[in-house]
Amino acid sequence: MSQPDTTPVTPDTLLAMKQAGEKIVSLTAYDAAFAHLLEAAGVEILLVGDSLGMVLQGHDSTRPVTLEHMIYHAACVTRASRRALRVVDMPWHSYDSPDIALASARRLVEEGGAQLVKLEGGGAVLEQVRRLSAAGIGVCGHLGLLPQSVESPDGYRVQGRDAEGAAAIRADALALQEAVLVLHDLLGVSPGRRPRFVQDFLAGRGSVADAVRAYVRDVKEGRFPGPEHSY
Residue 42 has pLDDT above 90, yes or no: yes
Instruction: State residue 51's pLDDT score.
Output: 92
Domain spanning 11-223, CATH architecture? Alpha-Beta Barrel (3.20)
pLDDT above 80 for 31: yes
Q: Which of 86, 88, 96, 90 is nearest to 119 (CA)?
A: 90
What integer pLDDT is reported at residue 159 of this predicted model?
Answer: 43
pLDDT score of 4: 66
Range name among 18-22, 78-82, 107-111, 194-198 with the lowest pLDDT average: 194-198
- Read off the pLDDT band of 185 (50, 70, 90): confident
- What residues does each domain of the chain span? 11-223
Taking 60 as the threshold, does the pLDDT of residue 158 lie above it?
Answer: no
Question: Are 86 and 114 within 8 A, CB to CB?
Answer: yes
Please state which of the ranges 8-12, 20-24, 137-141, 149-153 shows the lowest mean pLDDT: 149-153
**Residue 125 — pLDDT band, cuts 50, 70, 90?**
confident
More confident position, 201 or 170: 201
Q: Which residue has the higher pLDDT, 115 or 22?
A: 115
Task: Give every CB contact of residue 230 below 8 A, 6+ residues apart in sequence.
Answer: 196, 197
Between residues 191 and 14, the one the model is more confident about: 14
Query: Between the CA of residue 170 and those of 165, 174, 177, what are the distances in Å?
Result: 9, 6, 10
- What pLDDT was estimated at residue 227? 75
Cα within 13 Å of Cα(175), Cβ side: 17
Cα–Cα distance measured from residue 186 to residue 201, given in angstroms and rounded to the nearest whole number = 5
- Comparing 35 with 123, the larger pLDDT belongs to 35
Mean pLDDT of the chain: 83
